[in-house]
């Protein structure tokens, strides 16, 4: 659903997220693109620390990105969306199981995160490559496994 | 040249269901066990090298992705609500 027709400034969005101090990991295909894999993508996907929902929402609301659920509801559901012309999918859970039964903890991924300069002077956190691959196993859709194959190729390209 | 026929809503729904289907644990393990073939590996890594050369910073790559999506969205006949293939 498109609520507003305001122009979206990606750099300003990333700057607001980075400046908020929220522990937010950019995941999903947008992270693949930032790392160097040219795939088509629509949304922004973040995995957010469960205690940082309000901080994150406060940062992005000036861009017209309004959350579909209040923080308490979001915590109970494990995810929510913030959107206007853009859509931001936000995962909020201390740990998430992969489709094949591995429990992946946010805190562990956060401790191994890498920073990417996604706009001038703006550094966002993304999971380390092996961890990003694990997050692709949350959804368990066929295209997620295609993305995993691309990420594995990137990993070899980087000599990891 | 004959223009492409717009897919029917039923066909779009079918493709959507297939692409959004969640694999079973067994199917997931099977998918993970299949490595890229040699040719596909080389092609993929070549594409990654090209993309990183052409767009040397994460910011440039993200800007490219937004332009590419806009081009794709403006050229396709179906609505955004069914574009899960891009997600």
Closest partner CB to B44 (pick from A42, A120, A150) = A150
Estimate to the nearest angstrom the gap between the alpha carbon of A123 and the chain centroid. 14
Q: Closest Cα partner for A13 from A114, A107, A87, A78?
A: A87
Beta-bridge partner residues of A114: A126
- A120 and chain B in contact, CB less than 8 A: yes
Q: What is the pLDDT of residues A5-36, one digit of tens each?
A: 445 789 999 999 999 999 999 999 999 999 99
- Cα-to-chain-centroid distance, residue A149: 19
Total structural domains within chain B: 1
From CA A118, how far away is CA B4, in angstroms rounded?
A: 37
Cα of A65 to nearest chain B Cα, Å: 18
B52: in domain? yes
CB contact under 8 A, A40 and B69: yes
Q: Domain span at residue B47?
A: 23-77
pTM (2 decimals)? 0.87
- Examine residue B14 and state whether it is found in any structural domain, yes or no: no
pLDDT above 90 as % of chain B? 39
Which ipTM score applies to this complex? 0.87
Residues 6+ apart with CB under 8 A from B40: none
Is B59 part of a structural domain of the chain?
A: yes
Residues of B in contact with A39 (CB under 8 A): 65
Tell me the shortest Cα–Cα distance from B10 to chain A, in angstroms: 20
Burial A80-96 (b: 16+ CB within 10 A, else e): bbbbbebbbbbbbbeeb
Chain A residue closest in CA terms to B20:
A141
Mean pLDDT, to the nearest integer, of A121-140? 96
Distance from CA of A2 to the nearest CA of B (A): 10
Q: Is residue B28 part of a domain?
A: yes
- Find the closest chain B residue to A158 by CA distance: B45
Choose the mutation target among A10, A45, A136, A142 for the interface with B, i.e. most B CBs under 10 Å: A142
**Alpha carbon distance A154, A31 (integer Å):** 12
Residue B58 lies in a domain: yes
In a domain, B40, yes or no: yes
DSSP A88-144: EEEEE-SEEE-TTS-EEEHHHHHHT-EEEEEETTEEEEE--HHHHHHHHHHH--HHH
SS3 content of chain A, % helix, strand, coil (to 5): 45, 25, 30
Q: Is residue B86 part of a domain?
A: no
**Mean pLDDT on B42-64:** 96
For residue B12, is it within any domain?
no
């Amino acid at each position: 659903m498109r609520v507003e027709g305001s122009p979206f400034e990606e750099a300003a969005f990333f700057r607001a997220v980075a400046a908020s101090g929220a522990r937010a990991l950019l995941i999903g295909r947008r992270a693949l693109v930032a790392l160097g894999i040219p795939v088509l993508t629509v949304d922004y996907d973040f995995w957010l620390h469960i205690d940082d929902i309000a901080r994150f929402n406060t940062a992005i609301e000036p861009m017209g990105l309004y959350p579909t659920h209040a923080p308490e509801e979001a915590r109970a559901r494990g995810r929510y969306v913030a959107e206007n012309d853009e859509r931001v999918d936000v995962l909020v859970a201390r740990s998430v199981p992969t489709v094949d039964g591995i429990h992946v903890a946010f805190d562990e991924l956060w401790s191994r995160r890498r920073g990417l300069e996604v706009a001038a002077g703006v550094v966002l956190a993304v999971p380390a490559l092996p961890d990003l691959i694990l997050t692709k196993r949350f959804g368990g859709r066929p295209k997620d496994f295609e993305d995993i194959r691309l990420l594995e190729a990137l990993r070899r390209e980087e000599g990891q | 040249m004959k223009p492409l026929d717009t897919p029917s809503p039923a066909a779009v729904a079918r493709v959507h269901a297939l692409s959004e289907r969640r694999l079973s644990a067994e199917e997931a393990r099977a998918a993970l066990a299949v490595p890229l073939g040699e040719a596909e590996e080389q092609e993929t890594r070549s594409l990654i090298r090209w993309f990183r050369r052409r767009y040397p910073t994460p910011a440039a790559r993200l800007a490219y992705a937004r332009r590419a999506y806009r081009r794709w969205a403006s050229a396709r006949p179906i609505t955004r609500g069914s574009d899960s293939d891009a997600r």
